[in-house]
């Protein structure tokens, strides 16, 4: 069984993003970048499935600038067997990414695609669903548990009311949620081995996909700062302020 795992290069989750001085976007120059945390979870899950003997090959994919190969090296250090880098300087949007992934799925013919439920830079939460729609494959989103058996995937997914379990006929799309697993740290020997693993480099033109953005950023601004709180002397004063000033009761 082959698994395809898309990964995205984003600002490291430990870094506080800064808005550009001209308000056109988020500053990325000189900022530490790393793999999207939800994609790390997807890679970890595919590696665990391989360790169980269910999966035989893991192919990591990233779409972006040449520096994204560092993200792919991390995925291979975690356990991916090989990788594909789709090089583009264009801003990546969910629909274009889904179209590129569709072309790669048709080429690689994986039995399962596992990807993070969303990227922490744009929080779109759309690529997995769009890919499933383009392929006509079943999907299990927000997965907190994945089991493969008899050509099917049983996915426990997190919903507002609790947990829902769905059974998907393979091939299928699964998007990983936070509680699916805890990603491992890549060991130094595995990081060295990852340098020797194959990485194929292509462009969107090679898969006949137009990456021209469909969205334009009007402006980006920092969230308003929180006002200092106050102390009240009694419950009656609190209720009065909630009713007359905050107007929440």
Distances (CA, A) of 160 to 38, 142, 157, 182: 19, 11, 10, 22
Residue among 209, 214, 8, 213 at smallest CA distance from 102: 209
pLDDT of residue 228: 84
Reported confidence tier of residue 22, pLDDT bands at 50, 70, 90: confident
Map out the domains of the chain with their CATH numbers.
Answer: 2-244 (3.40.50.620)
Q: What is the mean pLDDT of the chain?
A: 93
**What does the pLDDT look like over 55-68, one tens digit per residue?**
999 999 999 999 99
Is the pLDDT at 84 greater than 90? The verdict is: yes
pTM: 0.87
Q: How far apart are CA 76 and CA 60, in angstroms?
A: 7
**What does the pLDDT look like over 35-82, one tens digit per residue?**
999 999 999 999 999 999 999 999 999 999 999 999 999 999 999 999
Count CA atoms within 13 Å of residue 80 on its CB side: 31
pLDDT of residue 4: 97
pLDDT of residue 182: 95
Q: Tokens 């089991």 identify what position?
A: 147
Is the pLDDT at 216 greater than 90? The verdict is: no
Q: Are 135 and 105 in contact (CB under 8 A)?
A: yes
Count CA atoms within 13 Å of residue 242 on its CB side: 10
pLDDT of residue 102: 97
Residue 208 DSSP code? T
């Amino acid at each position: 069984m082959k698994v395809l795992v898309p990964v995205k290069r984003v600002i490291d989750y430990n870094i506080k993003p800064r808005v550009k001085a001209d308000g056109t976007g988020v500053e990325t120059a000189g900022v530490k970048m790393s793999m999207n945390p939800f994609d790390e979870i997807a890679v970890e899950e595919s590696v665990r499935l391989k360790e169980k003997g269910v999966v035989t090959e893991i192919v990591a994919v990233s779409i972006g600038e040449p520096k994204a190969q560092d993200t792919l090296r991390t995925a291979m250090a975690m356990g991916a067997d090989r990788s594909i880098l789709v090089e583009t300087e264009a801003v990546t949007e969910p629909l274009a990414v889904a179209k590129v992934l569709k072309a790669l799925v048709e080429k690689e013919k994986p039995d399962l695609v596992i990807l993070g439920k969303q990227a922490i830079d744009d929080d779109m939460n759309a690529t997995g669903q769009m890919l499933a729609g383009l392929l006509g494959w079943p999907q299990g989103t927000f997965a907190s548990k994945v089991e493969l058996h008899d050509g099917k995937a049983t996915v426990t997914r997190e919903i507002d009311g609790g947990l829902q379990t769905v059974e998907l006929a393979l091939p299928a799309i699964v998007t990983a949620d936070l509680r699916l697993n805890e990603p491992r740290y890549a060991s130094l020997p595995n990081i060295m081995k990852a340098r020797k693993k194959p990485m194929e480099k292509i462009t969107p033109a090679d898969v006949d996909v137009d990456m021209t953005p469909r969205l334009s950023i009007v402006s980006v601004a920092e969230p308003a700062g929180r006002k200092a709180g106050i102390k009240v002397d009694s419950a009656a004063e609190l209720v009065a302020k909630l009713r007359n000033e905050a107007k929440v009761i």
